[in-house]
């Protein structure tokens, strides 16, 4: 009975963990490696296991750094089922097909260069069609529903409060009379996140595999965050430019639209034209609107009183390329919510090209920015950025609103861990080194006898005392 770590080790993206129970092999998550082009090239590397040897996959949620290599896993020989929450199935239909489209476009762009150099063409990592077909393998579950995914491995999903359908994966294992419970946090939600319920507490585990994205910091309070956003819009109105909001299509977009509606008058949003310029975010918002049973009580009550959470009188949904291009003719008074959240692609890059050099423009960063991304460069205060081979001066005001994170901060992570009554061992993953090390120190100070950050390729013996983590 062993657990191998093949992603999100000493980094945030590429979650991938291999559980072996008897002769059965279950993969937990199979995510894309995201960041710079150098990082992303590793997505083409061979898996460190035979894809055909995997019997089943458990997927914690739809974000591509957890789900994005599933079509590739199937392309390379996986023939089993993928178990996840029903809402995650709906979101993955959108997100994986969009990833396939981007793969095709990237391959076309690369092959034009290779043709000029007389080099052999490359294939897309996977295509839209391969992504669409991959979702036929998905099997949707509800929170609290126990399911045997393979003999000796039983799965129960609990609400992780991170995005719609995000789950804590509780895996009860049995081999030759030995029983163990391993709990994967997936991405753990930020307590009080709008729309979603708070992460559920699990009372028992033999090993916890825990994310650490914000393991070295504390978020601002929600009240301070809303006040900060209101101040940005007031500042922007005085400056007279546009407001660019690079955003993640899933959850961050829906959170923002909901809060735009809640604070519509307080933030003076009736003075703006608001554009949701992301076909994927538009589709994801429709998924959120269908799964109202997953809302927390406050959001459910607000919807009963005011109608659909995402319906604003001055909101335009820009689905076509032509509509998106039309926004770039607006020099003032537009709030442009567009992907991608780390500015690595999508329509936000076009809006940056038309606005980032303007002193009156505002850019609002609303989430984690991985090392090597354009968004990270803006957060770090870059004076110039590169867009399609052109150097562009950064003169817009860049705001980093950290309190909007959908990830738990250090206090949230440590607080969730205290729900385990027996202080189980913790394998820390999914964080940059400083964040992982800070969380390990916090957990140890709070009473975790065994906690450490995992490294790529490590394997833990789940039968050993302390799950093989050592002292």
Helical spans, DSSP H, in 41-156: 64-67, 70-75, 86-117, 128-134
Is the domain of 122 the same as that of 173?
yes
- Cis ω for the linkage preceding 259 (within 30 of 0): no
Give the domain CATH number at 431: 3.60.15.10
Q: Are residues 135 and 8 in the same domain?
A: yes
Alpha carbon 203 to its chain centroid, in Å, reads 26
The DSSP annotation for 179-190 comes to: EEEEEE--SPBP
Whether residues 90 and 114 share a domain: the answer is yes
Q: Are 451 and 397 found together in one domain? A: no
**CATH assignment of the domain containing 304:** 3.40.50.10890
Q: Please tell me the total count of domains within the chain.
A: 2
Q: Both 190 and 48 in a single domain?
A: yes
Question: Among residues 404, 428, 458, which one ends one of the domains?
Answer: 404
Is 260 found in the same domain as 209?
Answer: no
Bridge partners of residue 275, in order along the sequence: 316, 336
Same domain for 256 and 113: no
344 Cβ contact partners less than 8 Å away, ≥ 6 residues apart: 34, 373, 374, 375
Query: 307 and 321 share a domain?
Result: yes
Question: Domain end: 376, 404, 432, which one?
Answer: 404
The predicted model scores a pTM of: 0.92
* Residues 184 and 295 reside in one and the same domain: no
pLDDT at res. 254: 97
In this structure, the number of other CB atoms found within 10 A of the CB of residue 421 comes to 11
Contacts of 38 (CB under 8 A, 6+ apart): 372
78 and 227 inside one domain: no
Cβ contacts of 169 within 8 Å, gap of 6 or more: 28, 58, 60, 155, 157, 183, 184, 186
Q: For residues 395 and 415, state if they share a domain.
A: no
**What residue numbers bound the domain in which 282 lies?**
222-404
Neighbouring residues of 457: CB distance < 8 A, sequence distance ≥ 6: 4, 5, 6, 48
- What does each of the 471 residues of the chain score in pLDDT, given as a tens digit? 999 999 999 999 999 999 999 999 999 999 999 877 788 889 999 999 999 999 999 999 999 999 999 999 999 999 999 999 999 999 999 999 999 998 999 999 999 999 999 999 999 999 999 999 999 999 999 999 999 999 999 999 999 999 999 999 999 999 999 999 999 999 999 999 999 999 999 999 999 999 999 999 999 999 999 999 999 999 999 999 999 999 999 999 999 999 999 999 999 999 999 999 999 999 999 999 999 999 999 999 999 999 999 999 999 999 999 999 999 999 999 999 998 888 988 899 999 999 999 999 999 998 878 778 899 999 999 999 999 989 999 999 999 997 888 899 999 999 999 999 889 999 999 999 999 999 999 999 999 989 999 999 999 999 986 777 864
pLDDT of 54-64, one tens digit each? Answer: 999 999 999 99
86 and 120, same domain (yes or no): yes
* Separation in Å, CA 77 to CA 27, 71, 131, 205, 308: 14, 10, 14, 32, 42
- Summarised one tens digit per residue, pLDDT across range 106-152 is 999 999 999 999 999 999 999 999 999 999 999 999 999 999 999 99
* Single residue among 354, 389, 404 that ends a domain in this structure: 404
């Amino acid at each position: 009975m062993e657990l191998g770590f093949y992603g999100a080790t000493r980094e945030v993206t590429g979650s991938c963990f291999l559980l072996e129970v008897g002769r059965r092999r279950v993969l937990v998550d199979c995510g894309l490696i995201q960041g710079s082009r150098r990082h992303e090239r590793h997505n083409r590397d061979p898996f460190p296991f035979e894809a055909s040897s995997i019997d089943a996959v458990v997927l914690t949620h739809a974000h591509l750094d957890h789900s994005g290599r599933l079509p590739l896993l199937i392309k390379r020989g996986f023939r089993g089922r993928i178990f996840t929450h029903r809402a995650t199935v709906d979101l993955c239909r959108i997100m994986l097909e969009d990833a396939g489209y981007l793969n095709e476009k990237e391959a076309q762009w690369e092959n034009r260069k290779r043709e000029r150099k007389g080099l052999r063409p490359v294939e897309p990592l996977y295509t839209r069609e391969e992504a669409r077909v991959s979702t036929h393998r998905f099997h949707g579950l509800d929170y609290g529903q126990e399911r045997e995914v393979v003999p000796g491995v039983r799965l129960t999903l609990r609400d992780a409060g991170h995005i719609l359908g995000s789950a804590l994966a509780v895996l009860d294992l049995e081999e030759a009379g030995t029983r163990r419970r391993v709990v994967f946090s997936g991405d753990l939600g930020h307590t009080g996140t709008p729309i979603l319920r708070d992460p559920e507490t699990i009372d028992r585990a033999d090993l916890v595999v825990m994310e650490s994205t914000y393991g070295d910091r504390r978020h601002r309070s929600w009240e301070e965050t809303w006040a900060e956003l209101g101040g940005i819009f007031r500042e922007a109105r005085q400056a007279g430019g546009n407001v660019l909001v690079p955003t993640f299509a899933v959850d961050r977009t829906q959170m923002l639209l909901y809060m735009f509606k809640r604070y519509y008058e307080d933030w003076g949003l009736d003075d703006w034209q608001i554009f949701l310029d992301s076909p994927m975010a538009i589709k994801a918002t429709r998924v959120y609107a269908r799964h109202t049973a997953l809302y927390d009580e406050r959001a459910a009550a607000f919807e009963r009183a005011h109608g659909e959470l995402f319906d604003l009188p001055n909101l335009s949904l820009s689905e076509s390329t032509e509509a998106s291009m039309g926004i770039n003719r607006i020099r003032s008074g537009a709030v442009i919510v567009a992907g991608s959240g780390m500015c690595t692609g999508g329509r936000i890059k076009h809006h940056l090209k038309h606005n980032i050099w303007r002193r009156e423009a505002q850019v609002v960063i609303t989430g984690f920015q991985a090392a090597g991304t354009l968004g990270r460069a803006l957060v770090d205060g870059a004076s110039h950025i590169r867009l399609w081979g052109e150097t562009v001066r950064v003169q817009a005001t860049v705001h980093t609103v950290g309190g909007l994170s959908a990830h738990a901060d250090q206090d949230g992570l440590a607080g969730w861990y205290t729900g385990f009554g027996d202080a189980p061992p913790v394998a820390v993953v999914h964080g940059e080194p400083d964040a992982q090390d800070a969380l390990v120190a916090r957990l140890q100070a709070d009473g975790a006898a065994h906690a450490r950050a995992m490294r790529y390729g490590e394997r833990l013996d789940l039968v050993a005392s302390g799950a093989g983590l050592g002292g």
